[in-house]
Amino acid sequence: MDTILVVNAGSSSLKFELFAIGEGLHKRVKGQMDGIGTSPRLRIKGSDGQLLADTCYSQSDVSNAQAAMHVVGAWLRETHPGKLAAVGHRVVHGGPDYMRPVMVDRDVLEQLERYVPLAPLHQPSNLAAIRVILERRPDLPQVACFDTSFHRGRSLVADHYAIPERFFVEGVRRYGLHGLSYEYVAGRLREVARDVAAGRVIIAHLGNGASMCALSKGRSVETTFGFSALDGLPMGTRCGQIDPGVILYLLTEKGMSVSQVQELLYHDSGLKGLSGISNDVRVLLASDDPCAAFALDYFVYRIGLHAGALAAALGGLDAFVFTAGIGENSAEMRARITKNLGWLGARLDLGRNSNHHLCISAPESRIGLYVIPTDEELMIARHTLDLIGSVTGSIPSGVTWMQDPG
Ligand code: ADP
């Protein structure tokens, strides 16, 4: 059976999921190589959640993304000898130009390189994975799916910063991220509550990375992320919205270097920075340290503030949807966040919330409250299948995953 491989390549991790193409797409295996270049460990699970592999490697065996791709490729070739039809990649930045997924060749790859300065921590690893396959298997179709695409086509005011226009022209814009998640969740909402999805909706993607998106008739009109992955909500280790004057202060008065400020804002801030304990909401909820409680209070407060801004952008609100690690799993956090949406008419059904039902609003609630698990990998697999189908007119007969790893 033909398969599609979805790859999400980060700076020190490689996530992947294999889908079989049958009547629709079927999940086969999902895995992750962590600690690339430090303490590499590969874990793979089957579609039923059963652990299929858990192997540690030496630092020298998996020293970079290329080596990780080879290890994963070898495992997949051995266990899934069928035909690989295409690889779909999560690519963080499609810049101002890419409004939808694209088939990648050398020219497109070169164009995507231009967006590295827009996402210096993520784009290079995303593109490195594409390049490895392009070099070894130029015949294998590869599709890039962007986190930014879903937000393209918004109003110019939503995309702008109030700095001279020449910066907008050269690409300093409010792009927004988490687009693949929003696209998937908006699609699911259409399936389960068509009328609601056609109205004014906020989706809250609350994971280690966190953002919210305002959708009108299923399309993004505003979001909390801006130019980079730092803006908007506080996150596990990222600061969220911050006065740019603070950055200037750190650089000029504190004498911090650019890389020290970058490290502080991306890796030592957010829930971890505020609590001084952990970036993980589970740990903070279980802690009786007042700093843990304060970090969670701050998170909930900022979600409420941003929800107000997004509701204003929509001119009202019909539904609020929770997704991602915190949004899908923590009834307590959902309850606390919903309390702050009370002025918008939100009322929670406590029983349905604690049982993680799809619809968790009480009958008297003025807005619908939903919990919809996200699936960015499935979204990428769908885009990949659509694109190879539309380019070739049919699903290609396929080629075996990196047969010649060289
Ligand atoms: P990402 O994909 O951005 O790395 P996820 O969407 O997987 O993140 O979310 C991971 C986060 O979700 C964890 O760091 C943790 O804070 C939170 N999380 C997961 N399960 C629970 C739970 N049962 N209760 C509270 N928080 C949870």
Residue 217, C-beta contacts closer than 8 angstroms, at least 6 positions apart: 198, 199
pLDDT tens-digit profile of 139-165?
999 999 999 999 999 999 999 999 999
Q: Ligand 1 centre and the CA of 77: distance in Å?
A: 31
For residue 202, the cross-strand partners are: 214, 320
Structure tokens belonging to residue 275: 């609590």
CB 368 within 8 A of CB 359: yes
pLDDT tens-digit profile of 349-388?
999 999 999 999 999 999 999 999 999 999 999 999 999 9
Helix (H/G/I), strand (E/B), else coil: 380: helix
- Catalytic (active-site) positions: 147
Q: Measured between alpha carbons, how far is 232 from 205 in angstroms, rounded to an integer? A: 12
Residue 396: pLDDT over 50: no
Half-sphere exposure (Cβ direction) of 329: Cα atoms closer than 13 Å:
10
Q: Whose structure tokens read 């814009």?
A: 173
pLDDT > 90 in the chain, percent: 89
Residue 215, C-beta contacts closer than 8 angstroms, at least 6 positions apart: 182, 186, 200, 201, 202, 203, 221
CB 323 within 8 A of CB 374: yes
Residues 43-64, mean pLDDT to the nearest whole number: 94
The reported pLDDT for the residue numbered 378 is: 97
Residues 157-185, mean pLDDT to the nearest whole number: 97
pLDDT category at 392 given cuts 50, 70, 90 is: low
Instruction: Give, using CA atoms, the residue closest to atom 1 of ligand 1.
Output: 208
Kindly give the pairing relationship between strand 51-56 and strand 210-216.
Answer: unpaired
pLDDT > 70 in the chain, percent: 96
Residue 399: pLDDT over 80: no
Q: Ligand 1 centre and the CA of 282: distance in Å?
A: 8
Which phi and psi (to 5°) does residue 313 adopt? -60, -30
End-to-end CA distance of the chain: 25
Which residues does a 6 A CB cutoff place in the pocket of ligand 1? 207-209, 236, 280-282, 324-326, 329-330
Residue 121: pLDDT over 90: no
